[in-house]
Structure 1
Amino acid sequence: MAGTNPRAARIAALIQRVIASNMEMQLHDKRLANVTITEVRVTNDLQIARVYWTQLGHTGKEEGERQRAKQALEQAKGRLRSLVGAKAGLRLTPQLQFVFDEVPGEATEIEDILAVARKRDEELARARETAQYAGDADPYKHPEERDEDDDWDDEDDDDWDDAEDEEPETESAESEADGSEAAESEE
């Protein structure tokens, strides 16, 4: 609330109670009908009190209503400060600064965004229930499904065996041919 000064925190709470209760009872201004004091922060030297306010039921987009409420608070600033001084019993009453609190409006916007996200998630969940894979459910091979021959196909193994069989025959045929030529040359 007010930093580390516990006295400033107590005074801030007192100022909030006094202003909130007297806005309805003492001021009788229709422009302040929906105004709520959300927080009060007092500086550690107790010189300035920032009074945060908002309008209930409004998202903050009604700029005209907000301006009228701000003018009413500024006009009532002196009277509210006198009431705070009388109730608080302080030697020096803090100056009041009224600040529009943006947090409730932003919270409403965030809630709206989250509601849209939840709705999209529900739609996706419904779509997932009826969805099917375009191909196999699991298109990847797993180690336990792997062939023992690793990268070689069974059909390729037969061709390879045939190729191995042919090579020794050609070598022996060549060596026989070389041997017959050598025999002829000896004669």
Structure 2
Amino acid sequence: MAKNRTGRVSEQIKKELSLLIQTEMKDPRIGFVTVTGVEVTNDISQAKIYLSVFGDNEQKDKSLKGLEKAKGFLRSELGKRMLLRHTPELIFKIDESIAYGSHIEKLLGDIQEDK
């Protein structure tokens, strides 16, 4: 039963954070950021937010620093929008799965060309 709740909470956090980052964030360091996934602990005390950032490594670092700076604002806004007793602590991580997938796709394409 707890799995259902954490799944619902993580999906709601993903939806609300995506909206907040797109509409409310005014920090110029934050580029084109997409929330790709959210993992919430069983007690809903922490939430790992996986982000995909369009751009090079410098843009990823700037966006991550901007989001770390705005962590308090984002957490308080989440608390206002979601009806939870305790708003989870937000931990931002860059999601490398998209870049990894395109790298694998390129390698497979190179193998096909060699045949």
TM-score normalised by the chain length of structure 2: 0.93
1:53 maps to what in 2? 51
Post-superposition offset of 1:27: 0.8
Q: Percent same amino acid at aligned positions?
A: 31
Post-superposition offset of 1:67: 1.1
Query: Is residue 66 of structure 2 the alignment partner of residue 72 of structure 1?
Result: yes
1:35 maps to what in 2? 33
- Hey, which of these two has a bigger chunk of helix by percent? 1
- Hey, which of these two has a bigger chunk of strand by percent? 2
Equivalent position to 1:113, from 84, 89, 107: 107
Q: Which amino acid letter does the alignment assign opposite residue 52 of structure 1?
A: Y
Runs of at least 4 residues off by over 4 Å: none
Equivalent position to 2:87, from 82, 89, 93: 93
SS of the counterpart of 1:30?
Answer: coil
Residues 31 and 59, structure 2, Cα contact 8 Å, conserved in 1? no
Where do residues 171-186 of structure 1 align in structure 2 (5 Å cutoff)?
Answer: none
Q: Which amino acid letter does the alignment assign opposite residue 70 of structure 1?
A: L
TM-score normalised by the chain length of structure 1: 0.58
User: Which one scores higher on RCO, CA 8 angstroms, separation ≥ 6?
Assistant: 2
Structure 1, unaligned stretches of length 5 or more?
122-187
SS of the counterpart of 1:11?
Answer: helix
Per-residue CA deviations over 1:93-132 (Å, capped at 9, x if unaligned) read 00000011111111111011011011112xxxxxxxxxxx
Instruction: Please give the alpha-carbon distance, in whole angstroms, between the structure 1 residues aligned to 2:72 and 2:35.
Output: 17
Instruction: Please give the alpha-carbon distance, in whole angstroms, between the structure 2 residues aligned to 1:11 and 1:102.
Output: 23
Q: Which amino acid letter does the alignment assign opposite residue 26 of structure 2?
A: H
RMSD (Å), alpha carbons = 1.2
> Radius of gyration: which is bigger?
1
2:17 maps to what in 1? 19
Q: Which amino acid letter does the alignment assign opposite residue 86 of structure 2?
A: L
SS of the counterpart of 1:37?
Answer: strand
